[in-house]
């Protein structure tokens, strides 16, 4: 039996991806910091969709979590053929106003844990007849975003890492996909400490996490390397490429101030 492993699965896009996979009768392994939310989601998936669901409480801001997760899977004889790196968050405001620990934790979750999980699980994924890695990037990956500096930079890394990894694994059994959502109706603005003006602006363009999850899972199974969700986000990425970078950065800084 093969399983899908999803990080950041307790709510938002991660939760919706877990449900989307469960609808397709794929057993799921759920990871996040909240044991209560994970337990509720696992029970909901088992009851409503009739597939196996287990969970592991894990804080990806801590070091060496990839080893702990892999050992948990091996101890329970869970063979993973779908790895979904969804966990991530942002911090709004000048990066130097946050502590060194705050910034390091963000980079640990958004970049280092993602890379380490890919490396830890690739040997297992390669043993499967068909396997998938789905990395959740962001529409902000296509530009620098002052006042959301480390988040946009980290998601740019995720995007380019995913594209490079996809190329390196071409011809293997492992397909690698980056999905870049725009503003989505999740708890991201609160976690990122956004002000009310920024939250209100972003809410005008919100997609539902369910719609983003459906696009992401479809893109993954289609073997696409890179997908931006929604016409507005695709148009934004095109305009960022077209317009002078300083102009785009000035607009972005005004949104997140």
> How far apart are the C-alpha atoms of 165 and 149, rounded to whole Å?
24
Q: Are 89 and 188 in contact (CB under 8 A)?
A: yes
Measured in whole angstroms, how far is the alpha carbon of residue 159 from the centre of its chain? 11
> How far apart are the C-alpha atoms of 205 and 210, rounded to whole Å?
15
> How far apart are the C-alpha atoms of 251 and 256, rounded to whole Å?
9
Set 49, 55, 132, 151: catalytic member: 151
The verdict on whether 49 is a catalytic residue reads: no
Q: Are 207 and 229 in contact (CB under 8 A)?
A: yes
Q: Are 114 and 135 in contact (CB under 8 A)?
A: yes
Q: Are 41 and 110 in contact (CB under 8 A)?
A: no
Sheet of strand 226-228: strand arrangement: 53-57, 28-32, 2-7, 79-85, 131-136, 174-180, 226-228
Provide the annotated active-site residues.
151
């Amino acid at each position: 039996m093969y399983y899908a492993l999803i990080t950041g699965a307790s709510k938002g896009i991660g939760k919706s991806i877990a449900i989307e996979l469960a609808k397709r009768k794929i057993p799921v392994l759920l990871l996040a910091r909240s044991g209560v939310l994970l337990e509720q989601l696992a029970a909901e998936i088992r009851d409503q969709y009739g597939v196996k669901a287990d969970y592991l409480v894990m804080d990806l801001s801590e070091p060496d979590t990839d080893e702990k997760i892999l050992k948990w899977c091996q101890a329970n004889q869970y063979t993973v053929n779908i790895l979904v790196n969804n966990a991530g968050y942002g911090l709004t405001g000048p990066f130097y106003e946050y502590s060194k620990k705050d910034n390091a934790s963000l980079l640990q979750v958004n970049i280092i844990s993602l890379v380490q999980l890919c490396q830890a699980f690739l040997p297992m994924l390669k043993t499967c007849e068909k396997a998938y890695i789905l990395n959740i990037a962001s529409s902000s990956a296509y530009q620098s975003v002052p006042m959301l500096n480390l988040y946009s930079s980290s998601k740019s890394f995720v995007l380019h890492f995913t594209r490079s990894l996809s190329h390196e694994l071409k011809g293997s059994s492992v397909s690698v996909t980056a999905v870049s959502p725009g503003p989505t109706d999740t708890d991201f603005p609160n976690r990122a400490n956004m002000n009310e003006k920024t939250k209100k602006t972003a809410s005008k363009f919100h997609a539902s996490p369910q719609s983003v999850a459906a696009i992401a899972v479809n893109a993954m199974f289609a073997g696409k390397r890179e997908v931006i969700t929604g016409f507005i986000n695709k148009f934004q990425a095109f305009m960022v490429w077209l317009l002078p970078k300083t102009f785009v950065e000035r607009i972005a800084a005004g949104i997140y101030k």
